[in-house]
């Protein structure tokens, strides 16, 4: 998603300190990120080709702390196999509810008046929704997010989870608004909720980042009860997403950690259940867009996200 409109304003200034969020992914450096760097150095492409020195350097500067994530296998562009820490589907998530929020809606382009309507996000008002971004070739974020959401739903249902989508492309024909997206997760009493996006930044800005809710207590927003579990969910999603997809942490958001905390997102501010956003990559960067438009890589993206969610649910 581009940072324009509802839930997409420029990130709020952050204090230049490294705390739990940096530590969360720092453990991936000696294993996961090092494995990715070695692979890129010997010429692997994983669907995008090349390496990203800026993102890698930022991540390598972070302190190291042990985490329960293994190094990624060589990213050869094929669908990743299930990791040893993620058992085969066995129905063990029966009784767990996951809400998947595919960012934007393919119909938003035809309903600009409706999506421009301001809604209350607790701290202030924002537009209902936006159209989202796209690759330079016209592959839209809304198509990408819905595709990954469908793949993710299938994987989680194999594990026995009950999965609800905030929308399914044509129902409703636009939106829903950002406040409604949060309320859908709340009404479902979701054990975990995730909003799937892709960014629209400049060429050369690449990598994924997971957005965590800040502690907000204003108006209708009170994220204090979900900040801790959402951080846990976000760290697990980020670690597994890196390991399975080989996509590096963002080189332009999160100081190389792949984690960003925001207090201006209605989808997080109004949530009463553990919830995070994931920006899977930058649609405007040629290397990232090659991955985002790859059917095989989108399957990897869904697998990586699912393994983070499964890990969270089994420990919660």
- Report CA dihedral (135, 1, 295, 157) to the nearest 10 degrees: -170
Alpha helices per DSSP H over the chain: 20-26, 34-41, 53-60, 112-115, 141-158, 178-187, 227-245, 266-269, 286-292, 295-315
CB contact at 8 A, 307 and 86 = yes
Average confidence (pLDDT) over 295-315: 97
Residue 91 pLDDT level (bands cut at 50, 70, 90)? confident
Average confidence (pLDDT) over 19-24: 42
CB contact at 8 A, 51 and 41 = yes
Of 41-50, 91-100, 124-133, 216-225, least confident by mean pLDDT is 41-50
Task: Determine which one of 253, 279, 307, 315 is catalytic.
Answer: 279
Residue 27 pLDDT level (bands cut at 50, 70, 90)? very low
Residues 6+ apart with CB under 8 A from 187: none
Residue 39 pLDDT level (bands cut at 50, 70, 90)? very low
Of 73-82, 93-102, 137-146, 281-290, least confident by mean pLDDT is 73-82
**What does the pLDDT read at residue 169?**
75
Of 26-35, 159-168, 216-225, 302-311, least confident by mean pLDDT is 26-35
Percent of the chain with pLDDT over 90: 69
Is the model more confident about 58 or about 221?
A: 221
pTM exceeds cut of 0.85: no
Residues 6+ apart with CB under 8 A from 103: 1, 132, 141, 142, 145, 195, 196, 197, 198, 277
- Whether the per-residue pLDDT at 29 is higher than 60: the answer is no
CA nearest 134: which of 279, 296, 2?
A: 2
DSSP 159-175: TT-EEEES--SSSSSS-
- Whether the per-residue pLDDT at 236 is higher than 60: the answer is yes
CA nearest 48: which of 306, 296, 290, 250?
A: 290
Helix (H, G, I), strand (E, B) or coil at 127: strand
**What does the pLDDT read at residue 89?**
65
Domains present along the chain, CATH in parentheses: 20-62+94-315 (3.40.630.40)
Nearest-angstrom CA–CA distance, 248 and 241? 9
The reply to whether 279 belongs to the active site is yes
Where b means 16+ CB within 10 Å and e means fewer, 88-122 reads eeeeebeebbbbbbbbbbbbbeebeebbeeebbbb
- Whether the per-residue pLDDT at 209 is higher than 50: the answer is yes
Residue 88 pLDDT level (bands cut at 50, 70, 90)? low
CA nearest 57: which of 280, 251, 210?
A: 251
Average pLDDT of every residue of the chain: 80
Nearest-angstrom CA–CA distance, 119 and 312? 31
Residues 45-85 pLDDT 10s: 333 333 233 333 333 333 333 333 333 333 333 333 344 44
- Separation in Å, CA 184 to CA 40, 57, 100, 187, 215: 41, 39, 10, 5, 21
Residues 250-291 pLDDT 10s: 999 999 999 999 999 999 999 999 999 999 999 999 999 999
């Amino acid at each position: 998603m581009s940072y324009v409109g509802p839930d997409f304003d420029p990130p709020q200034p952050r204090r230049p300190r490294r705390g739990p969020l940096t530590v969360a992914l720092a453990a991936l450096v000696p294993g996961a990120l090092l494995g990715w760097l070695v692979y890129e150095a010997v010429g692997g492409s994983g669907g995008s080709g090349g390496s990203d020195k800026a993102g890698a350097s930022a991540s390598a500067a972070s302190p190291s702390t042990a985490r329960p994530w293994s190094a990624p296998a060589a990213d050869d562009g094929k669908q990743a196999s299930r990791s040893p820490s993620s058992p085969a589907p066995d129905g063990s998530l029966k009784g767990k509810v996951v809400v998947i929020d595919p960012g934007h809606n393919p119909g938003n382009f035809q309903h600009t008046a409706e999506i421009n309507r301001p809604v209350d996000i607790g701290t202030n008002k924002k537009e209902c929704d936006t159209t989202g971004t796209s690759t330079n070739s016209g592959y839209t974020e809304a198509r990408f997010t819905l595709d990954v959401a469908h793949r993710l739903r299938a994987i989680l249902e194999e594990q026995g989870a009950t999965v609800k989508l905030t929308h399914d492309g044509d129902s409703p024909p636009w939106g829903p608004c950002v406040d409604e997206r949060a309320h859908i997760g709340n009404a479902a009493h979701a054990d975990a909720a995730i909003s799937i996006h892709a960014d629209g930044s400049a060429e050369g800005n690449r990598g994924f980042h997971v957005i965590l809710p800040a502690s907000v207590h204003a108006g209708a927003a009170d994220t204090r009860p979900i900040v801790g579990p959402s951080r846990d969910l976000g760290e697990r999603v980020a670690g597994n997403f890196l390991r399975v997809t080989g996509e590096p942490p963002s080189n332009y958001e999160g100081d190389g950690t792949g984690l960003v905390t925001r207090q201006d997102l209605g989808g997080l501010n109004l949530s009463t259940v553990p919830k995070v956003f994931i920006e899977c990559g930058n649609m405007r960067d040629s290397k990232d867009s090659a991955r985002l438009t790859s059917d095989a890589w989108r399957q990897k993206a869904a697998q990586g996200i699912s393994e983070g969610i499964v890990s969270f649910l089994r420990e919660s």
